[in-house]
Amino acid sequence: MVSNGKAGPDLSLEEAERGIVVGVDEVGRGPFAGPVVAAAVILDRDNIPAGINDSKKLSKAKREFLFDQIMTTATVSIAEASPAEIDEINILQASLLAMRRAVSSLDQVPDVALVDGNKDPDLGIKTRTIIKGDALSLSIAAASIVAKVTRDRKMCALADQFPGYGWERNSGYGTAEHRKGLSLYGVTPLHRRSFTPIRKIVEGS
């Protein structure tokens, strides 16, 4: 595992490895509703979009812009684990499952994976887990942007099917608006019943 105080992601971790390097990250562990989404990104080192950073440090407009740039210049795979899978195997295991699905669906077979966090997803290739990797590795940062934008767009679309919870604004996180929606309209099929606030509602009903 690696963690240091560098200012902004670069290619140091990628250049320390041989062969094709993929960055892997996920988003959506904390929300009450919706899937967890993972992305795997192999950057074209001769054509890297400027401005890639940890998705949490970027504005929505900047993330959207960079998403399009990454999708057109890099090799990208996106995968998810559903709320039902989260409830069945727990959110950590579902996050690792989404990562495995993303990497296994790539058009290229990578030699090395740089994975955000401290848990090895068991990808079947050499893997380095990097604490705060999205702030250190450009490949992981790119994956964080792709996963974040993909999930936010999906939750906006799902908000049309299940109005009243504010998913287009809160992406399924447990905001006051979301909690009010739960009190008014109850639990949907997309809510994670294994999460304590949702379980309490289900048990109470």
Helices (H) and strands (E) in the chain, counts: 8, 5
What value does the mean pLDDT of the chain take? Answer: 95
- 3 pLDDT above the threshold of 80: no
Main-chain dihedrals φ then ψ at residue 102, nearest 5 degrees: -65, -45
Angle at which helices 176-185 and 196-204 cross, to 10°: 20
Q: What is the pLDDT at residue 7?
A: 74
Most distant CA pair in the chain: distance in Å? 57
pLDDT tens digit sequence for 112-132: 999 999 999 999 999 999 999
Q: How confident is the model at residue 183 (pLDDT cuts 50, 70, 90)?
A: very high
> At a CB cut-off of 8 Å and minimum separation 6, what does 114 contact?
13, 14, 17, 21, 22, 23, 24, 127, 128, 130, 133, 137, 139, 140
pTM: 0.95
pLDDT tens digit sequence for 53-86: 999 999 999 999 999 999 999 999 999 999 999 9
Q: Of 4, 136, 127, 143, give the one whose Cα is nearest residue 63.
A: 143
| Averaged pLDDT for residues 145-167 | 98
- 36 pLDDT above the threshold of 70: yes
- 6 pLDDT above the threshold of 90: no
Q: What percent of the chain has pLDDT over 70?
A: 97
Per-position b or e across 36-56, b if 16+ CB within 10 A of its CB: bbbbbbbbeeeebbeebbbbe
176 to each of 2, 100, 180, 182, how far by Cα in Å? 36, 33, 6, 10
Q: How confident is the model at residue 2 (pLDDT cuts 50, 70, 90)?
A: very low
Main-chain dihedrals φ then ψ at residue 70, nearest 5 degrees: -65, -45
Identify the structural domains of the chain with CATH numbers, from first to last: 12-162 (3.30.420.10)
- 4 pLDDT above the threshold of 50: no
